[in-house]
């Protein structure tokens, strides 16, 4: 049977230099694995002015429900200093029990294992009692404009509906079986500009320093904490990521100062309630700035970055149990159900169906010498195969 070996699948994918936005042959290689298994395959080109065109892939096996989606990306980040790699970044060389290559763990490895798991499931049980689809983008590591969101819209417009999704991003910090992700924090960014009056540093009463204002405002954003965390999430955290004055002269009070911030927030908030809290803090600090006793309120404006990421938590027990039981059955370890880390494409998928994430060990992702233990590829394939059986078993109940 074709495609049952995750190592062969991965080496075919790694040999395709699919650095975003290049397809690099990776989707063609994937298509060659899925077609013999009976999948119907669509290659979907997404375009938007000002961004590179991106090719994506949607493949479905079966026509009825229940419908399980596997989501991921074949694009990879740049190799960096190629001469620093022990083995070529597109070589798929195996040494010391590890396969080397860009995308080995993030996340061609996850795709290679899920393909192998589906192939084995078909070999052992026949076609699934429902449908399995692959939603694979070439734009996860880039601007993510012509990727998962557009592919989901395209598929939904054709009438595709899903009951659950597994994203194959690397989720394990140290060892396979550590961690399943069942949600993600939200992310919101903004920039504050404080307007002052330029003047001589020796005559501050004739000027108005925006530096005093920006310090009071950024302090108010960082303290006190936004919350103490919730059952499923760590505390929300705001970082001031830059403060800019761009003043070269020590004897001049500048006219403007700005600062940007990013907050990773939990399910205490949504983007709107959080924006309201931030504005309230800024207004209060502007009116009562301790660094400007007796002066008028700080004059500032606030610009939000486009597209906040919304916080989400998956509460579908059949999906979570199928996955964590599969992890435990194969590895003997009970995975932690976590919502830590950055955002992922799961934040788009959650608008269509419940979504969980489990993949390889992430330690070398985006690094020189990205690599995966060959043994982990076999273990992850077994976990995915067990998950598929359990999920279709659950869904049929």
Q: Which two tokens stand for residue 99?
A: 């396969």
Judged by CB under 5 A, which stretch of 167-175, 180-188, 245-253, 372-380 contacts Zn ion?
A: 167-175
User: How far does the chain reach from its first CA to its final CA, in angstroms?
Assistant: 30
72 vs 183, beta carbon nearer Zn ion: 72
Minimum gap (Å) between residue 389 Cβ and Zn ion: 26
How far is Cα 337 from Cα 275, in angstroms, rounded to an integer?
Answer: 28
For Zn ion, the closer of residues 109 and 190 by Cβ is 109
**Min CB(167)–Zn ion separation in Å:** 9
> What is the nearest approach in angstroms of Zn ion to the Cβ of residue 65?
28
Of 5, 23, 75, 106, the catalytic one is 75
Of 10 and 274, which CB lies nearer to Zn ion in the complex structure? 10
Q: What are phi and psi of 221, to 5 degrees?
A: -75, -30
Cα–Cα distance measured from residue 63 to residue 250, given in angstroms and rounded to the nearest whole number: 71
Using CB positions, name the residue nearest to Zn ion. 106
**Do 222 and 233 touch, CB atoms closer than 8 A?**
no
Question: Binding string, 5-34, against Zn ion, x = CB under 5 A?
Answer: ------------------------------
CB of 140 to Zn ion, least distance (A): 5
Q: Is 378 tagged catalytic?
A: no
Name which of 230, 317, 316 is nearest 267 in CA terms.
230
Residue 111 CB, shortest distance to Zn ion, in Å, is 10
Stretch that binds Zn ion, among 96-104, 160-168, 169-177, 321-329 (CB under 5 A): 169-177
- Rounded-to-integer distance, Cα 61 and Cα 118, Å: 10
Is 270 assigned a catalytic role? Answer: no
Q: Which helix (H) or strand (E) holds 314?
A: none
Per CB under 5 A, the list member of 5, 98, 106, 267 interacting with Zn ion is 106
Q: Is residue 107 within the footprint of Zn ion (CB under 5 A)?
A: yes
Which residue from 162, 311, 179 is spatially nearest to 235, judged by alpha carbons? 311
Task: Annotate 101-150 with DSSP letters as a single string.
Answer: -TTTTTTHHHHHHHHHHHHHHHHHH-S-SSEEEEEEES-SSS--SSSHHH
User: Under rule CB under 5 A, how many of the chain's residues touch Zn ion?
Assistant: 3
Which x/- pattern over 215-244 shows residues binding Zn ion (rule: CB under 5 A)?
------------------------------
Query: Which of residues 106 and 376 has its CB atom nearest to Zn ion in the complex?
Result: 106
245 token code pair: 């004055």
Are the C-beta atoms of 191 and 259 separated by less than 8 Å?
yes
Distance CA 147, CA 47 (A): 10
Catalytic residue among 140, 169, 178, 376: 140
Residues 58-77 within binding reach of Zn ion (CB under 5 A): none
Kindly state the smallest distance separating residue 342's Cβ from Zn ion, in Å. 10
CA distance 264 to 271: 10
**Active-site positions?**
75, 140
Binding interface with Zn ion (CB under 5 A): 106-107, 169
């Amino acid at each position: 049977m074709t495609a049952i070996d995750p190592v062969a699948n991965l080496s075919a994918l790694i040999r395709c230099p699919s650095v975003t936005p290049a397809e690099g042959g990776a989707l063609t290689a994937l298509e060659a694995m899925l077609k013999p298994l009976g999948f119907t395959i669509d290659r979907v080109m997404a375009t938007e002015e000002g961004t590179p065109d991106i090719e994506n892939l949607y493949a479905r096996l079966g026509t009825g429900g229940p419908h399980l989606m596997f989501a991921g990306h074949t694009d990879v980040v740049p190799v960096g200093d190629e001469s620093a790699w022990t083995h070529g970044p597109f070589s798929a060389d195996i040494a010391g029990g590890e396969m080397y290559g860009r995308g080995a763990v993030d996340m061609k490895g996850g795709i290679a294992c899920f393909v192998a798991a589906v192939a084995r499931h078909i070999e052992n049980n026949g076609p699934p009692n429902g449908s399995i689809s692959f939603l694979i983008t070439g734009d996860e590591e880039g601007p993510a404009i012509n990727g998962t969101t557009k592919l989901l819209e395209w598929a939904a417009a054709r009438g595709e509906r899903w009951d659950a999704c597994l994203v194959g991003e690397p989720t394990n910090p140290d060892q396979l079986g550590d961690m399943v992700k069942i949600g993600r924090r939200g992310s919101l960014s903004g920039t504050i500009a404080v307007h002052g009056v330029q003047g001589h540093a020796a005559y501050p009463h004739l000027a108005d320093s925006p530096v005093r204002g920006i310090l009071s405002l950024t302090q108010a954003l960082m303290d006190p904490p936004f919350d103490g965390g919730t059952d499923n999430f760590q505390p929300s955290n705001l970082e001031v990521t830059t403060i800019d004055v761009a003043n070269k002269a020590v004897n001049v009070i500048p006219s403007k100062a700005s600062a940007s911030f990013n907050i990773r927030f939990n399910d205490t908030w949504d983007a709107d309630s959080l924006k309201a809290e931030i504005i309230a803090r800024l207004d209060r600090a502007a009116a009562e700035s301790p660094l400007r006793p007796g002066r008028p309120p700080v004059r500032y404006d606030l610009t939000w970055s486009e597209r906040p990421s919304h916080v989400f938590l998956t509460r579908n027990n059949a999906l979570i149990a199928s996955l964590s039981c599969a992890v435990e059955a194969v590895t003997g370890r009970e995975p932690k159900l976590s919502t830590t880390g950055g955002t992922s494409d799961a934040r788009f998928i959650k608008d269509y169906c419940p979504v969980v994430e489990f993949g390889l060990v992430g330690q070398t992702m985006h690094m020189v010498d990205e690599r995966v233990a060959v043994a982990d590829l076999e273990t992850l394939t077994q976990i995915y195969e067990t998950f598929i059986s359990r999920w279709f078993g659950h869904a049929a109940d």
